[in-house]
A and B are shown apart, each in its own frame.
Chain A
Amino acid sequence: MILTVGNTKGGVGKTMLAINITIARALRGSDVLLIDGDEQHTATIFTELRNSQIGSAGYTAVSLHGAAIRTQVRQLVPKYSDIVIDVGGRDTGSLRAALTVTDTLLIPVQPRTFDIWAIDQVIALIKEAREINPSLRAVAILNAADAQGSDNIDAADALEEAEGIEMLELTIGRRKAFPNAAALGKAVIEQNPKDPKAIKEFNTLMRFLYNNVTI
Chain B
Amino acid sequence: MVIAKKPINNTSKSAISNTEKAAEAFISGAGNVPKEDSKKKKRKRPFLMRFDEEMLDRIGKAVGRSGNSWAAWIRNALNRALDEEGV
Q: Which residues of A line the B interface, CB within 8 A?
A: 8, 66-67, 70, 90-93, 95-97, 99-100, 120-121, 123-125, 127-129, 131-132, 153, 156-157, 160-161, 163, 169
Contacts and interface: CB of A to CB of B under 8 A. Distances in A.
Interface centre among A95, A96, A99, A131 (most CB of B within 10 A): A96
Interface string B22-37: 1110111111111110
Contacts of B65: none
A129 B22 CA distance: 9
Contacts of A93: 27-28, 30
B14 to A, nearest CB: 19
Interface size range of chain B in the complex: 20 to 34
Main secondary structure of the interface of A (DSSP, over half): helix
Interface in B10-30: 19, 22-24, 26-30
B22 A161 contact: no
B33 A157 contact: no
A163 B42 contact: yes
Contacts of B24: 67
Interface centre among B33, B34, B41 (most CB of A within 10 A): B33
B31 A163 contact: no
B27 A100 contact: yes
A163 B22 CA distance: 23
Nearest to A98: B27
A123 B29 CA distance: 15
B44 interface: yes
Nearest to A154: B69
Interface of B: 19, 22-24, 26-36, 41-44, 67-72
A125 B27 CA distance: 10
A41 B14 CA distance: 36
Contacts of A160: 69, 71-72
B33 A132 contact: no
B36 A132 contact: no
16 contacts: A67-B24, A70-B27, A91-B32, A93-B27, A93-B28, A96-B27, A97-B23, A124-B35, A128-B26, A129-B26, A131-B22, A132-B26, A153-B70, A156-B72, A157-B69, A169-B68
Interface centre among B22, B27, B42 (most CB of A within 10 A): B27
A132 B42 CA distance: 24
A52 to B, nearest CB: 34
A123 B34 CA distance: 10
Given A124-B35, A127-B36, 16 more contacts: A91-B30, A91-B33, A92-B31, A96-B26, A96-B29, A97-B27, A124-B34, A124-B36, A125-B33, A131-B26, A132-B26, A157-B72, A160-B71, A160-B72, A163-B41, A163-B42
